[in-house]
Amino acid sequence: MEDLENTLNITERMYTKIEKKLGILTDNGLNVLLNKLTDISSDRMESGLVEYEGLQNIVKLFDVLTIERESTVGNMLVVNNWELINKVVFDNKSNQSAIEYWLYRGMLNDLAEIIDEGYRYGMGGKEDFETKLLKQFLFYLNSIYVKIN
């Protein structure tokens, strides 16, 4: 079996330059973002909030992706290796159909619920850095083309 890679192409193609705002145009910037998201998830878990696992799963997904920035295809997530995503993100408790649903819709819903929970508990004001970051990240995820192989 050939070695298949799950890939995320990151290019500054959106008119909003959301990739630059998130700082993901470099490996270091992407690592900083993933660390911030991990901290947000951990803080929410330790605070007794219930919406944090989806964010943990998104970070796990990004950890298994090969990042390409020299591509001309725009922002695209290409999934070739279902087994790896199932193993790392879902502890081998999922299947291709469920993972496909999560990639197209579930992770967006998870992130939206995390943002909504913040508003419900008074953390979603205009000046709230965490909420602003999560909303920018949700916008970015909405702009990614997902290609399933």
Query: pLDDT-derived band of residue 2, with 50, 70 and 90 as boundaries?
Result: very low
User: By mean pLDDT, which of 21-30, 36-45, 97-106, 117-126 is the weakest?
Assistant: 117-126
User: By mean pLDDT, which of 10-19, 108-117, 135-144 is the weakest?
Assistant: 10-19
Contacts of 125 (CB under 8 A, 6+ apart): 131
Token pair for 46:
């330790």
Instruction: Check whether 128 has a pLDDT greater than 70.
Output: yes
What is the distance between the alpha carbons of residues 35 and 40, in angstroms, rounded to a whole number? 9
What is the distance between the alpha carbons of residues 13 and 11, in angstroms, rounded to a whole number? 6
pLDDT tens for 31-80 read 999 999 999 999 999 988 888 999 999 999 999 999 998 777 788 999 99
Instruction: Check whether 145 has a pLDDT greater than 50.
Output: yes
CB 49 within 8 A of CB 117: yes
CB 4 within 8 A of CB 79: no
What is the distance between the alpha carbons of residues 93 and 98, in angstroms, rounded to a whole number? 10
Instruction: Enumerate the domain spans of the chain.
Output: 7-148
Enter the pTM of the model.
0.91
Instruction: Check whether 107 has a pLDDT greater than 60.
Output: yes
